[in-house]
Amino acid sequence: MSEPKQGNVSKKAEDFQSFNKYKFDGYNSYVSREWELFQTNGDRYGAFLAATADLTVRSVLDVGCGSGQEMLPFIDKGAVGFGLDYVPETGQVGRRMYKERNRDGRVAFVRGSGDALPLKDGSVDVVICRGAIMFMDNERALSEFSRVLSKGGRLFLMFQTPAYYWWKFRNGLIKGNLLSSVHAIRVLYAGMFFHITGRQPQGRLTAGGEVYETAKYVVSTCERYGLRKIGEMPDTNPQTPYLIFKKTSADATG
């Protein structure tokens, strides 16, 4: 299987990576653990298949993929998968894990950003973005997810609400991790600015453009791009909602 063309790594993604360089220490170990956790979470594996029972899934895209474990239910059923992330280590763990399952011929990994996807319109049946959209241009990313989805396709989207960052702030104070608390406050400030003005602030003082999302914002914006909410994943919660959308129109419209 040939690799898709390398995507553009947005300036926002580069800024975030530079600002949070410490977060990528041990990245491969982190995504390896995520793969192992997914193997023990039969509920999520089954929920992916249940939410697409009426759909023939030939191709799947995982944005902010880590090791790409979220694609596994579809790859096991015969789909081809594309994993996209913007860290330099993109695909190192995923290629090894899929090879161990004899699935490596159906998966490709590429470095890029979800707000500039290197795929054709309507080219995938499933898009997964689990806890990564806050690092992207939200409006452009949701537009791109819709653009590459086929009609009737599914978007599985997890995002982080203000409740998550308030928890992160308090937890950092309790555990003496002041950097974590400062990061949370910066995101809360940037998110408030974004939801008031509609513009995502950039720069180091705002955690490199990272913002929180709200369910109201996500659902209403998805609707503008022809994506209708049809359900939730079993691990959804108030801090990190995990919603399921269906592409209801052939073309994304803003």
pLDDT of residue 10: 42
Give the integer Cα–Cα distance in Å for 181 and 166: 9
What is the dotted CATH code of the domain comprising 11-161+213-247? 3.40.50.150
CA–CA–CA angle 70, 71, 75 (5° rounding) = 145
pLDDT of residue 41: 72
Quick one: average pLDDT of 183-203? 92
User: For residues 223-252, b (16+ Cβ closer than 10 Å) or e, as one string?
Assistant: eebbbebeeebeebeeeebbbbbbbeeeeb
pLDDT of residue 18: 38
Is a pLDDT exceeding 50 seen at residue 12? no
Quick one: average pLDDT of 4-12? 46
Is a pLDDT exceeding 60 seen at residue 14? no
- Weakest-pLDDT range from 11-15, 34-38, 190-194, 227-231: 11-15
- Weakest-pLDDT range from 15-24, 109-118, 161-170: 15-24
User: For residues 162-194, b (16+ Cβ closer than 10 Å) or e, as one string?
Assistant: bebbeebbeebeeeeeeeebebbebbbbbbeeb
pLDDT of residue 8: 46
Tens-digit pLDDT profile for residues 102-116:
988 999 999 999 999
Quick one: average pLDDT of 83-91? 88
pLDDT of residue 147: 98
Give the C-alpha distances (Å, rounded to integers) separating 218 from 58, 227, 243: 26, 10, 9
- Most confidently predicted of 42-51, 84-93, 145-154: 145-154
Domain with CATH 3.40.50.150 in the chain: 11-161+213-247
Give the integer Cα–Cα distance in Å for 232 and 251: 24
pLDDT grade for 94, boundaries at 50, 70 and 90: confident
Neighbours of 92 (CB within 10 A): 16
